[in-house]
Chains A and B, each alone.
Chain A
Amino acid sequence: DTGVSQNPRHKITKRGQNVTFRCDPISEHNRLYWYRQTLGQGPEFLTYFQNEAQLEKSRLLSDRFSAERPKGSFSTLEIQRTEQGDSAMYLCASSLVPGQFSGNTIYFGEGSWLTVV
């Protein structure tokens, strides 16, 4: 499967613990996005990277959240001191910026479900 891969798929953690999610984008995709989705809502933008550069972070993203993409390939999203309100599905997506206007699709992974108890 050459799609966007996310791990772990499910995580249950106690409030106050730290969690980390990993995303492996589609090979050669240089843009990588993180979204959060709660039940009954559309995906909510968190942040995105082009190669290893983090280009934008949502103002909704608290300082407990940090994302990295150190080598421009896989990315990690860490949540420190988790709160019950962090329970959601964390979606990763990737796309290819081709260098000329030809349009590029954003492909999503299956998501990582986080439950904070």
Chain B
Amino acid sequence: GENVEQHPSTLSVQEGDSAVIKCTYSDSASNYFPWYKQELGKRPQLIIDIRSNVGEKKDQRIAVTLNKTAKHFSLHITETQPEDSAVYFCAASTNYGGATNKLIFGTGTLLAVQP
């Protein structure tokens, strides 16, 4: 079955620095890759997603890149702020005809932004 690996498990950066989180997936049929942010005791919230027909997507300080050949995708956060501190999860799924099937999640990255 599908497997998603995520690294690093913890990441500490200084405010204003960039943070990069990397994931790899095993199922070549996967074509939808969302990233979720989860604060302690809260629900996972989608922050950005990318589909396999594009290689990069950006939304203000957040960007995601996808390398289908290598089955890698990465989250980039620039100009980090203390409120970016949270656990970030990558996920992979198949999405045909607009129907997102089950998401397979990575193990998460605890990002700590030091003021």
Contact = CB atoms under 8 A, between A and B. Distances in A.
B34 A31 contact: no
A45 B103 contact: yes
Contact of B104 (A40, A45, A99, A102): A45
Contact of A43 (B95, B101, B103): B103
Interface in B76-100: 89, 91, 95-100
B97 A95 contact: no
Interface stretch (B11-19, B42-50, B65-73): B42-50
A104 interface: yes
B45 A108 contact: yes
Contacts of B101: 48, 56
A97 B99 contact: yes
Contacts of A100: 97-98
B43 A98 contact: no
A110 interface: yes
Contacts of A91: 43-44
- Which size class do B's interface residues fall under? 20 to 34
Contacts of A95: 100
A106 B43 contact: no
Specify the main secondary structure of chain A where it touches its partner: loop
Nearest to B106: A42
B98 A108 contact: no
A2 interface: no
A45 B43 contact: no
Contacts of B108: 40-42
Given A40-B108, A111-B43, A106 B103 contact: yes
A13 B61 CA distance: 43
Contact of B97 (A48, A56, A101): A101
Interface string B1-24: 000101000000000000000000
20 contacts: A31-B99, A40-B107, A42-B6, A42-B108, A45-B104, A50-B99, A91-B43, A99-B97, A99-B98, A101-B97, A102-B98, A103-B32, A103-B100, A104-B95, A105-B100, A106-B34, A106-B46, A106-B100, A108-B43, A110-B42
Interface of A: 4, 31, 33, 40-45, 48, 50, 56, 91, 95, 97-111
